[in-house]
């Protein structure tokens, strides 16, 4: 049975002075780099009290950080250690973990295309959260990956589920789709004419829980190299990994589905990941919140600007009706970025 997302009017919360947040971010290190984006840091223990400010941030930027997420730092450290072992496995051992639909399960590298350029160095390991039989794991070569992945992904998904109702998203029947990301180090002689590890895009789903980026060089953790890593709308963003781990900091970001549902009131922000050119590699983990049942996205009455922004994945018929199912939207989005994938049929 089809259900509609229950989405309250996001502007219903009266704006008030935030009770507990601070600016998060790192200083940009070089004068030729854009100033860092300021991300507001909210306390996990007082999310309810900060609801109005959280709503305002999602309206304005589509992106917040939360500190004090229980158990996150330790679980993420364990995950990163295990992910690094996976990245060092042979291609044959990694290939065992490639799922039949590799945009949704298991391991792949260099398959996504953004704006006509393939993200050659980007590796992804997808798994549904909580774990189920559709996931693919390296049970022989790296059996500890399953638990390390599921533990941290569950922590950030549960935190995300605390935040969604604050912004009016009260659909409870959701799951996570985790995406471990490994961006391989780039040698100067192997230029593929793509300045990015991950091209400019907006997340196409509902909501993304994002673990802070981690850089390594010559086997050691290093600070973010200048002019690299996550950028939101042209500006770098993030906090030092050691701070993120010691303070249990997780980022949360709005997807295109909520921008459509709110007819543009909430922003899904453009972001990309710039390559490091100093030989560093980068790891991260995103967990996308997905509805379990079939749901309908109602974008009727949206402005011409919003329709134009999203018409690449909306048929004329759907634009006229003002509704599209999440499954249809998801399939068209996967087909947009994964032309080589055996994508689910678009409807």
Closest distance between Fe ion and the C-beta of residue 147, in Å? 25
Given the complex with Fe ion, which of 208 and 248 has the nearer CB atom? 208
| Distance from C-alpha of 161 to C-alpha of 289, rounded to nearest angstrom | 8
| Distance from C-alpha of 101 to C-alpha of 135, rounded to nearest angstrom | 11
Determine phi and psi for 281, rounding to 5 degrees: -115, 165
Given the complex with Fe ion, which of 57 and 203 has the nearer CB atom? 203
Closest distance between Fe ion and the C-beta of residue 253, in Å? 7
Q: Which residues contact 138 (CB under 8 A, 6 or more apart)?
A: 86, 89, 93, 94, 96, 97, 145
Given the complex with Fe ion, which of 112 and 203 has the nearer CB atom? 203
Reading the block at residue 169, the tokens are 């998203």
Closest distance between Fe ion and the C-beta of residue 167, in Å? 18
Q: In this chain, which stretch among 31-39, 71-79, 202-210, 275-283 interacts with Fe ion, using CB under 5 A? A: 202-210
Q: In this chain, which stretch among 164-172, 200-208, 274-282, 330-338 interacts with Fe ion, using CB under 5 A? A: 200-208
| Distance from C-alpha of 145 to C-alpha of 138, rounded to nearest angstrom | 7
Binding mask 2-21 for Fe ion (x = CB under 5 A): --------------------
Q: How many CB atoms lie within 10 A of CB 327?
A: 15
| Distance from C-alpha of 10 to C-alpha of 342, rounded to nearest angstrom | 37
Name the strands in the sheet holding 235-236, side by side, starting at the edge strand that comes first in the sequence. 196-201, 271-274, 229-232, 235-236
Q: In this chain, which stretch among 8-16, 109-117, 198-206, 301-309 interacts with Fe ion, using CB under 5 A? A: 198-206
Burial class (CB in 10 A: 0-12, 13-18, 19+), 98: middle
Given the complex with Fe ion, which of 119 and 203 has the nearer CB atom? 203
Q: In this chain, which stretch among 5-13, 195-203, 262-270, 272-280 interacts with Fe ion, using CB under 5 A? A: 195-203
Closest distance between Fe ion and the C-beta of residue 295, in Å? 21
% helix / strand / coil in the chain, to the nearest 5?
A: 30, 25, 45
Closest distance between Fe ion and the C-beta of residue 316, in Å? 28
Q: Number of residues interacting with Fe ion: please give it, by CB under 5 A.
A: 1
Closest distance between Fe ion and the C-beta of residue 339, in Å? 18
DSSP β-bridge partners for residue 39:
24
Given the complex with Fe ion, which of 142 and 244 has the nearer CB atom? 244
Residue whose beta carbon is closest to Fe ion: 203
> Which member of 53, 67, 203, 281 binds Fe ion (CB under 5 A)?
203
Given the complex with Fe ion, which of 142 and 214 has the nearer CB atom? 214
Task: Determine, following the binding rule CB under 5 A, whether residue 259 of this chain makes contact with Fe ion.
Answer: no
Given the complex with Fe ion, which of 210 and 245 has the nearer CB atom? 210
Binding to Fe ion (CB under 5 A): which residues in 127-166? none
CA distances in angstroms from 210 to 28, 33, 213, listed in the order given: 21, 23, 9
Reading the block at residue 256, the tokens are 């295109």
Residues of this chain that bind Fe ion (CB under 5 A): 203
């Amino acid at each position: 049975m089809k259900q509609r997302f229950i989405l309250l009017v996001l502007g219903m919360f009266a704006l008030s002075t935030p009770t507990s947040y601070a600016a998060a971010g790192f200083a940009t290190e070089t004068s030729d780099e854009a100033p860092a984006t300021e991300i507001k840091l909210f306390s996990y223990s007082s999310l309810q009290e900060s609801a109005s400010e959280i709503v305002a941030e999602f309206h304005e930027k589509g992106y917040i950080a939360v500190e004090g997420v229980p158990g996150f730092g330790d679980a993420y450290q364990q995950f990163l250690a295990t992910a690094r072992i996976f990245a060092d496995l042979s291609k044959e051992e990694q290939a065992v973990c490639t799922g039949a639909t590799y945009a949704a399960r298991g391991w792949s590298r260099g398959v996504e295309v953004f704006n006509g350029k393939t993200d050659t160095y980007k590796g992804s390991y997808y798994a549904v959260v909580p774990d189920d039989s559709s996931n693919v794991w390296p049970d022989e070569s790296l059996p500890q990956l399953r638990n390390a992945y599921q533990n941290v992904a569950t922590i950030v998904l549960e935190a995300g589920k605390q935040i969604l109702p604050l912004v009016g998203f009260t659909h409870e029947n959701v799951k996570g789709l985790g995406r471990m990301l490994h961006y391989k180090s780039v040698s100067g002689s192997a230029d593929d004419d793509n300045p990015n590890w991950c091209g400019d895009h907006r997340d196409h789903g509902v909501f993304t829980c994002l673990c802070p980026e981690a850089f390594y060089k010559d086997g050691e953790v290093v600070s973010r190299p200048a002019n690299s890593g996550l950028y939101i709308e042209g500006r770098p963003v993030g906090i030092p990994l050691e701070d993120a781990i010691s303070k249990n900091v997780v980022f949360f970001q709005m997807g295109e589905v909520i921008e459509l549902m709110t007819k543009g009131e909430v922003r899904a922000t453009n972001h990309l990941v710039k390559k490091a050119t100093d030989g560093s590699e980068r790891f991260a983990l995103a967990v996308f919140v997905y509805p379990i049942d079939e749901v309908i996205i109602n974008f009727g009455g949206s402005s011409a600007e919003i329709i134009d922004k999203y018409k690449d994945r909306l048929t004329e018929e759907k634009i006229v009706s003002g509704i599209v199912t999440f499954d249809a939207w998801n399939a068209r989005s996967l087909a947009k970025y994964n032309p080589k994938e055996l994508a689910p049929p678009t409807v």
